[in-house]
A and B are shown apart, each in its own frame.
Chain A
Amino acid sequence: MAAGAALAVTGAARAFGGVYAVRDVDLAVEPGELRAVIGPNGAGKSTLFALIGGQLAPDAGTVTLDGTRIDRLPAYRRARLGVGVVFQAARVFAGMTVLENVMVGAHSSTRAGFVAAAMRLPSHHRTEREIRTRAFSCLERTGIVSWASRPASSLPLGQQRALQLARALCGRPRLLLLDEPASGLRAGERERLAALLLDLRAEGLTMLLVEHDVGFVMRLADRVTVLDLGQVIADGTPAQVRADTRVITAYLGASA
């Protein structure tokens, strides 16, 4: 494990029905780094994403966030430790407004439970004010503040993605995981997303981006990890990865 890494994955393995989706994966992401994980179909990208986010538990190996082991923790505990997640599928909370959706994201970094809410204790009001302010600023950042009071499920796909991003940011993550955030977006939306990700990187947020769109990744990422058949086949700067012959045969060659 690299010392001082914000996120370190060592020897991670996960099998489905005897077939390894991810096997012996090591990954170390430095603080403030924007790391991309790419790979051809069935390379294990989504599985790796779920192992870090907590949607799946690894069969073997460890995941540490700033030195704390998180691989056995349920997803909500990981969120409290600072793992923010943007799923690829638009998992917005139907029946709630855009603002409420984003406010849910603040759960991981706030307290105040049922009793405070039922009795309307001062702590409830304080938390509500704080969450609301924070949610509005996240909506502004992602450019959907004008949709705040709309039902979340009425948003078009691009805005739903932005909503998920705002929700994740509202939890003030230390590590932001994004699963194919650019897929299905129009060119303009893609540009805005790229600009926002660069902004977040400039602020020192550590990010792990699972992406299929190689062009999008090569432009943004500090480093790129390439998975194939559940294993890491290359790891380096975008230029190094682009020149790697194994990558060219496994990934670019396969789909070209």
Chain B
Amino acid sequence: METTLQNVFDLAVTVNGTRYEQAVEPRILLSDFLRHDLGLTGTHVGCEHGVCGACTVLLDGEPVRSCLMFAVQAHGREVTTVEGLGTIDHLHPIQEAFQEAHGLQCGFCTPGILTTVKVFLEQNPNPSEEEIREALSGNLCRCTGYQHIVDAVQLAAEKMRK
């Protein structure tokens, strides 16, 4: 990446397998870039200061809060949002599990939980309930009381092991 003195930065980033090139202001948060510039509104913006976890995306496969990164920092990197998990016709096993186990109510926190869970289950295919709760400690849900989310993650783990 080159040092730039102008207030616009030529950003090139791969999101869900598609390469995007766009001039952005350095102050644009990754979360706002995904939603406003790319129209990928699956990434939800809750608190915008790193507490709620709704905006979690994967940066080169690692879960990060997209409200605590500038879009320019994703230059040359690969981002996966919830849109990159599955489609309406072909849900990801995690999405199927959340539907079947009632792992969401209003759904606002769900995209951040799904992306977080994706990495977690890849690293830990057979987690205990305690490990699931630990993995989701950075994601707030105000509807469910978490029990159905934990159930959904367990079901997803089962589906993904098959």
Indicate, yes or no, whether A interacts with B.
no
Q: Identify the A interface with B (CB < 8 A).
A: none
Q: Identify the B interface with A (CB < 8 A).
A: none
